[in-house]
Amino acid sequence: MPVICNIMEVINMHNKLFTPGPTEVRPELLKELSHPQIHHRTEEFVELYDFLQLYLKKLLFTENPVFIFSSSSTGAMEAAVTNGVKKRCLNLVNGAFGERWHEIAVMNGVPCDKFEIPWDKAIKAEMVEEQLASGKYDAVTLVSNDTSTGVLNPVKEIGEVIKKYDDVLFLVDAVSAMAGTEIRVDEWGIDMCLAGLQKAFALPAGLTVASVSERLLKRAEEVEKRSYYFNLPLMYKYHKKSQTPVTPPIPQMLALKKQLEYIIDKEGLEARFKRHQEMASCVQEWALKYFDIYPEKGYWSQTVTCIVNTRGISVSELNKQLVERYHCMIADGYGELKNKCFRIAHMGDMTLQDIKGLLAVINDILALE
């Protein structure tokens, strides 16, 4: 076996990821990770932190601070329910990650109820309205884009309903939507909007960002303390000094700076969202021609398509062929949907050309015409 010592050789021979996280990371961003470390209690770090604030606020259309979590997305979900619920939490579930919100609440001893609908359907504003009318809840959890099913829930409309209740917080997992789909945090009334970087940001895993509203910070002061690591008031105290309470993942922060410059100044938000829409349409058209699409119409994700395996192909065999012959990879159905569905991610820095190439290769493997 020859020893590979050139990083570019390694990058060139890897399997290209068309999976809904982690996603492909551009070599330019990988290089940022090997930047010499900067100390997190220095002026240089403060500048980096302030830059990230400015650009993350632009990305999310918000005036709220955006906290940096040294954890995957699930950690920030845990922070949301342990800091944001005093009375009782309503967990809206129509997929595996909605279910995860509920499990997190249960395991942390946070009072909660699950409202579950069939996973191929979107959660509608009327359903939330009906649940909130009970007056039992002071927080609602929702997954914007459930990566397990490819359903894009109507976050804006649900936000309109929640806004009618002064004391109800809106906690949104936007993991596979943020940086690929437009999210207007302030306009839609989102109190916490979180996402890990390994999905549509197209960066390595390990850092999660989350906007946090004043209402949520006030609530967090009032709830019984449950966690030291995921303590929003403590994070806010350091945020005001443009720092984090714990040593943050500095390499990822440097890569995030580079990527935010690219997303906002170079590509532009509008162009980025349009590119995602175009890639999604391309995969949807292909899926309808040869297979079927899992979610109900009108709520298809712009970042990942969950395709029904109507032809009864072996998804693992398809993936094996993709890896061995073409050095690329898609995702099987999630959990119970394994082999009943498969998923193609079209998020991050993928191009329409990449997607067309992938579909052509799948057609070749499956002998589809």
Ligand X SMILES: *Cc1c(COP(=O)(O)O)cnc(C)c1O
Which residues are within 8 A (CB) of 298 and not within 5 positions of it... i.e. 6 or more apart? 122
Nearer to ligand X by Cβ, of 74 and 284: the residue is 74
Nearer to ligand X by Cβ, of 159 and 196: the residue is 196
Nearer to ligand X by Cβ, of 82 and 176: the residue is 176
Nearer to ligand X by Cβ, of 99 and 349: the residue is 99
Nearer to ligand X by Cβ, of 175 and 256: the residue is 175
- Minimum distance, C-beta of residue 360 to ligand X, in the bound complex (Å): 27
Which residues are within 8 A (CB) of 47 and not within 5 positions of it... i.e. 6 or more apart? none
Q: Which helix (H) or strand (E) holds 228?
A: none
- Minimum distance, C-beta of residue 328 to ligand X, in the bound complex (Å): 20
- Minimum distance, C-beta of residue 311 to ligand X, in the bound complex (Å): 26
- Minimum distance, C-beta of residue 325 to ligand X, in the bound complex (Å): 28
Nearer to ligand X by Cβ, of 73 and 213: the residue is 73
In whole angstroms, give the CA distance from residue 201 to residue 89: 29
Give me the residue label for tokens 């040294």.
70
- Minimum distance, C-beta of residue 36 to ligand X, in the bound complex (Å): 27
- Minimum distance, C-beta of residue 170 to ligand X, in the bound complex (Å): 16
Q: Quick one: CA dihedral 259, 260, 261, 263, positive or negative?
A: positive
Closest CA to 230 of 73, 111, 102, 100: 73
**Order of all β-strands in the sheet with 112-116:** 66-69, 208-212, 192-196, 169-173, 139-143, 89-93, 112-116
- Distances from the Cα of 331 to the Cα of 19, 176, 317, angstroms: 5, 14, 12
Residue 161 and residue 131 in contact, taking contact as beta carbons nearer than 8 Å: no
Residues binding ligand X (CB under 6 A): 21, 72-74, 97, 143, 146-147, 173, 175-176, 196, 199, 205
